[in-house]
């Protein structure tokens, strides 16, 4: 089945399903108020997960997935009528409607293993997104991307022309109405202005188990340090290099017989799995960013 037909069927199947993400000061009555609100719209709660940093004076987080008949007709009224409840409990909240499949842009450089994994998951229907464009500062990915009928944009980039490059990239993202940017080993630093335009919507993969080995050449530095575990970290991008809210991490054991090339080969497998999981959780609205941390709901 062609991916576009699969997406069309998904939208039809999920046309009455919504998700509500909430964070607020913890106090009694939050769940009751939200449940009663959804009942007033004849919505049925399908899944609910909650977490509190401290029941006495902490922060409360909840993710609710619900089914609501004629959701398209009701969604505007639902959002309007939820506002007083949000004010009452000092909530930060977000409604997401599942049929609005998020549009993704993938940024990549010369290393293609993460890109290939994302494309495979997307092609098989396990990554539910519309990949609008792939942007690269190298030509290496063009063939594989265009073979899947995805627009490919080659935009050379370096620190000397970063402002001009990002202006072109931001225009593309706007033209294609992109919701989330995936940095699949895109080896360029983004400016604060770019990051601000897509706050908590840029997902990066860093090839080390952060906070160890921030920045460039982490495998070489790990080898020099003689580490016994190597890993990868997927996180949201902030102005601080490799210090954004962590979404997912994983590790694998290595030993003194593994050289830098071995570490990179082992690490590539970790990177692509970690990035793919992080992207899937973002697309499924399973993440709430709280300060420089994340709450990731199962």
Catalytic residues: 242
List the one residue out of 289, 209, 287 whose CA is nearest residue 297. 287
Tokens 């530095």 appear where?
Answer: 221
CB 50 within 8 A of CB 6: no
- 85/11 Cα distance (integer angstroms): 29
Q: How many helices (H) and strands (E) does the chain have?
A: 9, 13
Residue 184 to residues 105, 113, 207, 235, 273, Cα–Cα distance (Å):
10, 8, 11, 12, 11
CB 296 within 8 A of CB 274: no
Q: Locate 74 and state its tokens.
A: 């009701």
Instruction: Give 95's contacts (C-beta < 8 A, 6+ positions apart).
Output: 18, 19, 20, 75, 78, 79, 82
Q: Locate 147 and state its tokens.
A: 């073979």
Tokens 């977000």 appear where?
Answer: 94
The dihedral region occupied by 271, where left means phi > 0, alpha psi between -120 and 50, and beta the remainder, is alpha
Strands 59-67 and 44-52 turn out to be antiparallel
């Amino acid at each position: 089945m062609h991916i576009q037909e699969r997406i069309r069927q998904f939208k039809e199947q999920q046309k009455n399903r919504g998700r509500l993400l909430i964070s607020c000061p913890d106090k009694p009555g939050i769940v009751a108020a939200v449940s009663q609100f959804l009942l007033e719209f004849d919505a049925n709660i399908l899944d609910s997960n909650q977490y509190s940093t401290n029941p006495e004076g902490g922060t409360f987080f909840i993710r609710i997935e619900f089914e609501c008949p004629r959701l398209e007709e009701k969604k505007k009224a639902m959002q309007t009528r939820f506002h007083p409840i949000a004010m009452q409990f000092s909530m930060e909240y977000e409604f997401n409607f599942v049929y609005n499949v998020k549009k993704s842009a993938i940024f990549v450089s010369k290393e293609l293993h993460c890109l290939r994994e994302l494309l495979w998951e997307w092609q098989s229907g396990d990554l539910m997104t519309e990949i609008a464009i792939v942007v690269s500062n190298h030509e290496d990915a063009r063939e594989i991307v265009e073979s899947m009928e995805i627009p490919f944009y080659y935009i050379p980039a370096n620190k000397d022309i970063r402002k001009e490059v990002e202006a072109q990239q931001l225009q593309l993202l706007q033209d294609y109405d992109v919701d989330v940017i995936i940095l699949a080993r895109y080896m360029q630093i983004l400016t604060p202005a770019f990051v601000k335009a897509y706050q908590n919507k840029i997902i990066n993969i860093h090839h080390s188990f952060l906070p160890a080995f921030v920045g460039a050449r982490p495998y070489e530095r790990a080898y020099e340090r003689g580490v016994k575990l190597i890993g990868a970290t997927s996180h949201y991008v902030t102005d601080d290099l490799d210090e954004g809210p962590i979404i997912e991490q994983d590790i694998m054991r290595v030993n003194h017989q593994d050289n830098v090339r071995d570490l990179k080969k082992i690490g590539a497998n970790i990177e692509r799995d970690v990035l793919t999981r992080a992207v899937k959780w973002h697309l499924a609205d399973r993440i709430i960013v709280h300060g420089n941390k994340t709450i990731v709901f199962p």
